[in-house]
Structure 1
Amino acid sequence: MNLLKDKVVVIIGAGGGMGQAVAKALAAEGARLALGSRSEQALEELTSGLVRDGAEAVCKALDVTSEQEVQAFFDMASQTFGHLDVLLNLAGLSIPASIVEMSVEQYEQSIDVNLKGTFLCSKHFIPHVNTEQGALIVNIGSMAAKRANPGAPLYCTAKAAVNMFSQGLALQLAEKNIRVTTLNPGATDSGFWGTRALARDKFMTTTDVAEMLMLVLQMNPRVVVHEINFESFAVFK
């Protein structure tokens, strides 16, 4: 049974490698997609490609730290499809720097994109859910939330906060028939890392993460997955 066919799935951070991979997988299952990202060009290219291949997809660029832009995005998505079924909060940001070198602006950006963005998108998704049918929110944390990283302590902090936010949100939304799941992937080879010199051959691929997302999305609604921690097996070798 295909539980995703005709479901309206919102992907925030759809312009990134992880978002693009899961958008293509969802389109193949017949889901209808509302795609948001700050990367306007990548977003439009992804959407046009999906539509060309027969998918129902719309997109709108947004800054997840701006409540006005977030609200406008969700209003657009709901007006297009009538209601929303699934929210994937995939947007994230890591700024590698020592604490003494990091500016207050960089601190605010790191916390805002990872945590405030998750909060705002969840807040403006909820009013557009059909509570009789139920809905699902999937927040992307990180293994950095479980294991401190000296190169990016603020990123670790923000993702740990996302984990706790998800736990509280799950309790708050149960009465609305909305499930909440947190996925904590390990290092994944994507544009997230910029030009940092890293041994990416030991990283997971964006397809690996997309497959885990699809596993959660295809669970029967009577089951709630609280949290999944996963990473490349290569890091153990």
Structure 2
Amino acid sequence: MTDTDKTQDRGKVIAITGASSGIGRATALALADRGATVVLGARRSESLEQLAAEIRQNGGRAVGVPTDVRRREDLVRLVDTAVSEFGRLDVLVNNAGIGPVSLLEELRVEEWDDMIDVNLRGVLYGVAAALPVFRRQEAGHLVTVSSTAAYRTVPGQAVYSATKTAVRAVCEGLRQEVGDLRVTVVSPGFVHTDFVNSVADPEARAALLASRDAMALDPAAIADAITYAIAQPDKVDVNEIVVRPTAQR
């Protein structure tokens, strides 16, 4: 990233969901390093505070807000904290997501519900919280982390892929509706996080872990894509970025 790109980030107030680990954590660190103020949302409050403290110790500005994206009021509190503490919200990064993938015939209905609630409903709650603020400011940027599963599904990922496909549709519809606001979808392929630990079937989990360890990207690669989109001039709207390992089909 060039010095000009860093200047574009400096001073922006950016809220991030799912910020305590993986892509969210890497994105928070990258943006704070570029001079942005970060408002961090995640369920794990202890990890959240540790990250905020780390950023502040390195000279950045950060605050943690315990956030469960399944609760609309938590997203409202995250956005309201940005505005009350720092005067505005420039970007919301809808990053929180889960992927307890399984074959449909296993009938893990509660896991399906969880994916719908976190991956799709959580994004909609983020839109509902941030959009009124962006409208008042007459400026704002919604960045949503989707997945390459939105473009191609495989056995075991039907529900997960459905949530990510829906997210792309929501964001494309939002882009067409809002006009002067910016909307970006970043779709990662396999990333080296603890994402696959939620897979219940031991054999499926072991296979995914082996694939992850063999080819997955560092979360910093996705953070770079997110910071690239945010760093563009206000009149430049980067709508979709797909980032996957070269070995991933």
Alignment match of 1:12 (pick from 13, 17, 31): 17
The list of structure 1 runs, each at least 4 consecutive aligned residues, that deviate by more than 3 angstroms after superposition, is: 130-133
Deviations along 1:178-197, one digit per CA (max 9) or x if unpaired, are: 11011111110111111722
Counterpart CA distance in 2 for 1:88 and 1:7 is 13
Q: Is it true that 1:89 corresponds to 2:97 in the alignment? A: no
Within 5 A, what are the aligned runs for 1:113-128?
113-128=118-133
Residue of structure 2 equivalent to 1:232: 245
Contact 1:60/1:73, CA 8 A, preserved across alignment? yes
Runs of 5+ consecutive residues of structure 2 not aligned to the other structure: 199-204
Give 1:230 deviation, angstroms.
Answer: 2.1
For normalisation by structure 1, the TM-score amounts to 0.93
Aligned letter for 1:214? T
Match of 2:49 among 15, 27, 44: 44
How far did residue 129 of structure 1 move? 2.6
Identify which of 186, 189, 192 aligns with 2:189: 186
In 2, Cα distance between equivalents of 1:65 and 1:163: 19
Note the alpha carbon deviations across 1:157-187, whole angstroms, 9 max, x for none: 000000000000111211xx31101111111
CA distance in 1, matches of 2:18, 2:74: 14
Unaligned runs of 5+ residues in structure 1 are: none
Paired residues, what number? 234
Asked whether the 8 Å contact 1:83–1:130 carries over to 2, the reply is no
SS in 2 for 1:65: coil
Please state how far the C-alpha of 1:235 moved relative to its aligned partner.
2.7
1:138 and 2:150 equivalent? no
Specify the alignment match of 1:98 in structure 2.
103
Q: Deviations over 1:90-116 (max 9, x none)?
A: 101111222122333222111110000
Q: Percent identity?
A: 32
Tell me the SS of whatever aligns to 2:39.
strand
More helix by share: 2
Q: Deviations over 1:125-160 (max 9, x none)?
A: 122236556211111111001011212210000000
Structure 1 counterpart of 2:163: 158
Q: Name the counterpart of 1:110.
A: 115
Which of 45, 51, 59 does residue 64 from structure 2 map onto?
59
Letter in 2 for 1:183: V
